[in-house]
Chains A and B, each alone.
Chain A
């Protein structure tokens, strides 16, 4: 036992010393890397600016890149590319493209982080030239790689690429719908018909349809309101789907969509009720004032707040002032909204 004890102490001491030396080694490595990086940045950033200024051609500059520095130079180039536009961007991308053959093997690296990094770099420098590989990355086993590919394709603002992403949107169902919707909407109005088809397709998952509705709302797509009204007419749409469709109608709907909101105002779910009231404020009319006044007394403050804002929007301040004078929950809501309007 004593022998074992002493051996244990010796092993632990050696372990401690090794760890401490490892810390020192890491610091040394990091310092060397940082100095190397700073040196390369100081060399290549000016050269890239000279490239943009026409003092180099992409080919002549590429010839100056030492074999051991390709990855660093690609990194610096990818950062600069994100700051440029127009002809300057194309010039620097042309230079970066010449270096890409030395990194594209990363698409098949066993490490997801490396594959994701490759997709990211390639998409910044020459996505069209490697579109097949990037699209294939949408089916990568790693969710990180798939999302990096999806975002890269979305940045291209190309309908064909977006169609590929939309086909696989179920892969990203864990991601925030708002984030996915923004990503899709960034393409622009040309993507709207595709989004509407996805919203109307009851065979698609609720998550995908929610994203489609949110994206259409961001695009302010007027025809999307018809699709949303159709969804609301389905039997028992799920909470998030109903809420997203109501939000879409609130943004772009017209009086003709009012009838699709009706039964949602009486939903058991407070989220659906509050979105329905908000939509009613946008597309409703004087005949809805009574419903809105009743919604002021809804047990959910979220619904009451929307109802008060709806009344304010419809110009019924005297109704709010009347309720504001009462010592009820609705009264507090009315006072808050009147203060906002003031």
Chain B
């Protein structure tokens, strides 16, 4: 009986892998068609032309900052040089204890000012508002600590432009990133949210806040993440966008229509997946209120981010992401499979539950049952190797497809050696890295089940690779 159960589960596992990878393959095919069409479209409608014609749709960059002393001044300096006709920068100092505010005041000649809130999403108390004498479009809102989502809401409350772009304090934008992410709002007035692609900056040559040369990281963990980001953004998100089922706009770089987000209640402060939660809620809000809308993923605006290069912070990040996913799914379970809420509800959410949320559990049980079956002689060594080979080739196939999409569309990795290394990573990641992420995702599920709410710490090294400051909040990275 137990042998039959084992065999049944192994058969189920094969079927599960076939279905999930067939779906990823379908997403890749959709992404391929979409990217080809998009690249051709770029040749006929130049984004700079569009923006110049439109006189620029005013937008606010909103930047939550908590203990970002290592990178904040350089990040803001680079934001001040963006190629966009009309924008403001709103930084929220979210109760930093490392001198972030003082550094900002000194670097940008800030003075106390007044700026009335235009929406009333509840946040921790705002202590003061500062404006730069040197750069009148640069504002800093100083508030009590409340977390990232709370800080974003404080920014939202003080935003005056029709659009805002939420980003992380250490995100590097390319000069035309803002232009490109605003494009969907020009082309379709129903657009309420648009996200761009986030790429891994580790290993790249960064000067004055700009990525001058794109290179693969030297660090192996960062290389794995580079490939993951390609899969997630170029393959998966473009594919989901084709289906009209975009479920997440990355918190590191996403543009939104202020009025709609304020109307929907701003960012949720009781989840670690506030970016995904907002987008899913926007779908529900617009459909419930019969607001014609569109959520877009745009593959060409790029934001560069620093990926963790050691196991502990990476593990915390993946734990948090899985927790965030679980929280969003539970919170919005009322949408599940309901046609009135569109493809997000009928396709994306069920997929997320079955393959993203429960996937780690199914996979873990699968490893166990296959090994037990092999030890019990229910499957031969050949079959065992074949199972494992299937898992390997399914996973690597999707990764190689993502690399192919990169080469087809934007070709940011100019060095052929880097391309070759990405292909190798696609194969190697199944020998240890995927298993690690499985463990972290399981930890995330367990944390979600226990109701854990903290973010954990990220070790920042800065984009020039310089070591972070010596303070209790930011331990020196081991060499």
Contacts and interface: CB of A to CB of B under 8 A. Distances in A.
B is a partner of A:
yes
Interface in B25-39: 37
B45 A22 contact: no
B189 A336 contact: no
Contact of A178 (B43, B55, B115, B383): B55
A16 B53 contact: no
A12 B116 contact: no
B397 A148 contact: no
B383 A2 contact: yes
Nearest to A338: B114
A57 interface: no
Among B49, B117, B189, B401, max chain A CB count under 10 A is at B189
A27 B419 contact: yes
A5 B44 contact: no
B186 A336 contact: no
A304 B116 contact: yes
A174 B423 contact: no
Interface in A126-163: 144, 147-148, 151
A116 B400 contact: no
A13 B408 CA distance: 22
Interface in B8-42: 14, 37, 40-41
A23 B404 contact: yes
Band of interface residues on A: 35 or more
Give chain B's interface secondary structure class.
helix
Contacts, number: 126
Contacts of B403: 23
B7 to A, nearest CB: 10
Given A9-B393, A12-B393, A332-B114, A144 B44 contact: yes
Interface in A278-325: 301-302, 304-305
B382 interface: yes
A119 B423 contact: no
Contacts of A333: 116
Contacts of A31: 416
A116 B43 CA distance: 9
Interface in B370-407: 380, 382-383, 386-387, 389-390, 393-394, 396-397, 400-401, 403-404, 407
Contacts of B393: 9, 12-13, 15-16
Contacts of A183: 53
B404 A22 contact: yes
B40 A182 contact: no
Nearest to A2: B383
Interface string A243-269: 000000000000000000000000000
Nearest to B11: A1
Band of interface residues on B: 35 or more
A2 B380 contact: yes
A176 interface: yes
A329 B120 CA distance: 12
B54 interface: yes
B124 interface: no
A176 B57 contact: yes
A329 B393 CA distance: 62
A144 B386 CA distance: 48
B435 interface: no
Nearest to B416: A27
Contacts of B53: 151, 179, 182-183, 186
A285 B292 CA distance: 40
Contact of B390 (A8, A27, A218): A8
A43 interface: no
Nearest to A332: B116
A26 interface: yes
B188 interface: yes
Interface in B399-435: 400-401, 403-404, 407-408, 411, 416, 419, 423
B388 to A, nearest CB: 10
Interface in A23-62: 23, 26-27, 30-31
Given A177-B189, A182-B54, A30 B45 contact: no
B396 A179 contact: no
Interface of B: 14, 37, 40-41, 43-45, 49-50, 53-55, 57, 113-118, 185-190, 380, 382-383, 386-387, 389-390, 393-394, 396-397, 400-401, 403-404, 407-408, 411, 416, 419, 423
Given A5-B387, A176-B57, A177-B189, 11 more contacts: A5-B383, A6-B382, A9-B390, A23-B400, A23-B403, A120-B43, A144-B44, A151-B45, A301-B116, A336-B115, A339-B114
29 contacts: A5-B14, A5-B383, A5-B386, A5-B387, A9-B390, A12-B394, A12-B397, A15-B393, A20-B423, A31-B416, A113-B40, A114-B40, A116-B41, A116-B44, A117-B43, A148-B45, A151-B53, A175-B188, A176-B185, A177-B189, A179-B54, A186-B53, A301-B117, A302-B118, A305-B116, A305-B118, A329-B116, A333-B116, A339-B113
9 closest A-B pairs by CB? A113-B40, A12-B393, A179-B54, A116-B44, A336-B114, A26-B407, A19-B400, A5-B386, A176-B186
